[in-house]
């Protein structure tokens, strides 16, 4: 577990699967991800079994006031090139409380200090101003745009690319 001032990051475990299914199936969650369909509990359980044997991803449940309020994680971890993609979701009722800022900061520090990663990156869909503000506030560099790279709601959206390099290298 990674402890912060407002939140804790619990390593993803089987006990979190019911929460993940409801969180991932929320309409705002699907709008902010590459997920196109609702997830069934059995699907999530099969995914979890694969996750347990996959060293290229590490996910945490965000706990605030003893409630599950979101998740944050690293995917596509590349140990040779020391990089990974960071993703985050905070449930709608818990946004604008600094939870995402603390979660990304905690996971970033863990990734750089404990896993010895050199670079983190993230993708933000056009129109997700909260994530733009989050990554900008935390010093991530906007390095480019994938033009019309994501199809959602009958429209093509641009995908904005952010990165953060470990300082002091």
- All domains of the chain in start order, with CATH: 2-165 (3.40.630.30)
pLDDT of residue 151: 87
pLDDT of residue 30: 41
Who contacts 50 (Cβ-Cβ below 8 Å, separation ≥6)? none
What value does the mean pLDDT take over residues 91-116? 95
What value does the mean pLDDT take over residues 81-108? 95
Per-chain mean pLDDT for the chain: 88
Question: Measured between alpha carbons, how far apart are the two ends of the chain, in Å?
Answer: 27
User: Is this model's pTM higher than 0.85 or not?
Assistant: yes
Q: Which residue has the higher pLDDT, 26 or 78?
A: 78
* Most distant CA pair in the chain, distance: 45
**pLDDT tens digits along 9-53:** 999 998 988 888 887 766 655 455 555 556 677 877 887 888 899
| Model confidence at 148: pLDDT above 90 | yes
Who contacts 39 (Cβ-Cβ below 8 Å, separation ≥6)? 21, 24, 25
Banded pLDDT at 1 (limits 50, 70, 90) = confident
What value does the mean pLDDT take over residues 90-113? 95
Tokens representing residue 86 in the block: 């960071």
Tokens representing residue 51 in the block: 């996750």
């Amino acid at each position: 577990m990674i402890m912060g001032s407002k939140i804790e990051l619990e390593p993803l475990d089987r006990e979190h699967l019911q929460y993940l299914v409801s969180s991932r199936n929320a309409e705002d969650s699907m709008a902010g991800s590459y997920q196109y369909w609702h997830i069934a509990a059995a699907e999530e359980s099969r995914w979890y079994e694969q996750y347990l044997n996959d060293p290229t991803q590490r996910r945490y449940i965000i706990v605030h006031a003893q409630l599950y309020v979101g998740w944050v994680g690293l995917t596509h971890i590349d140990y040779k090139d020391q990089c990974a993609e960071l993703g985050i979701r905070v449930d709608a009722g818990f946004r604008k409380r600094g939870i995402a800022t603390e979660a990304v900061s905690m996971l970033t520090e863990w990734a750089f200090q404990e896993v010895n990663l050199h670079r983190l990156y993230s993708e933000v869909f056009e129109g997700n101003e909260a994530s733009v503000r989050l990554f900008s506030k935390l010093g991530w560099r906007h390095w480019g745009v994938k033009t019309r790279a994501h199809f959602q709601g009958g429209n093509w959206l641009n995908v904005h690319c952010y990165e953060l390099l470990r300082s002091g290298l």
